[in-house]
Structure 1
């Protein structure tokens, strides 16, 4: 037994030289010194590395081909993610619908001093009481200036970080004839431009209101993301309907001179963010 061990040790540790020669002139090209012990050691390391790499690939990249439970796990994970996303979307849609309904109440004149109703079926244009709408619109604007308009209060130091991060498309080119000034009940800006100039949406959104009033003429309102609503007044024509999904730059109206509060073709634009009137000049270059 001792002799066998000695013989095995001598065989493993015996030094050998591998010489690589040119076949034509027998000149040496390379020389390698080795023992069988080193060959076995490096072969074992290579085998361990190959096994580790194979194990990693089978459990990661190749998992979908070799593991029959992979598809089931992926499906369950996607179902869980979709469930959370659906709950989040449902909450966002509910909040947006409530906000849109409130804006509709304001535009239709169905608003009280300290309350904005949560729901009401939109009436057709032929059934609107324009006199009452004009009267309630004036009352609503007065409440804004006094700060008693419920959730719709004017704030100058509002948190508009998200709003400033949005990109706005210029709805129309021209010069500003009347700036934003809530002190005189002017909650938007007036832009004078060419006759029959198309009015474009300043951002992606959904049309939530179209109508006509004695004072403001043809009106269209668009709901954007981040609880932002843009309102365009005194148009000669409206090219979109309630419920239409539009993109930034889409034509939604034609500039006009409709309504009593106008002395010439121009566009009156209002921006309402989280229920507060903001100055469009701070976010859009005209």
Structure 2
């Protein structure tokens, strides 16, 4: 009985049917389709499977999945991972602090302490660490060096400034004095006749505050020293230091040159200023 019903059902599924479309005015058959119940079930089943597959792909690989209630978005997942790492780090810190307190108790009670080994954080890739200077570090270093380069207070402020009488000056260049100091005549320094291409030396440690060329003085360089002392070197053929550079006493800062029509004579004009007033260099420097 059951087998006969089953055969009848299978037979019904395979029965062919004709779906026709007629012209209503003249009853002419325009289009027809032969199908069975099995064909209809297969077509609709396939369409249903394709729709389910397409919706699944659309939700899985597009941001539409974030609109599903309860589905975490990318920020939530990032927070979950970050919180998991923080919890792991906190657990490690708590363990280390507990061991540290145990060691303190051991010390107080006179017992031997436990050696605490520092283990690297497994969440960080230490092999990929770059130990070179970062861009931010380089910018900070350049800024600090630039500020210190033009800062005149390069000496120890805790030292009490000595009077200029106690200062030992290096001779800027050995030579013969052509014009001595004479403030009334406008000669604010000492003009020396030195050997050609002689190096000009810094009289004291200090910072270069000016270096350049002019028609009247040629290449000149000015150095600021501690105790409000300034030395000026003029008539040079070229300077060896730039503005802002620190120089030591006796360090070469320029090369002597000629002035005017005196082509065969190397000259150097050396001025010494103290508290903003020019003074006679011959009283403090041995030429």
State TM-score, norm by structure 2.
0.43
Kindly name which structure, 1 or 2, has the bigger radius of gyration based on alpha carbons: 2
TM-score, length of structure 1 as denominator length: 0.43
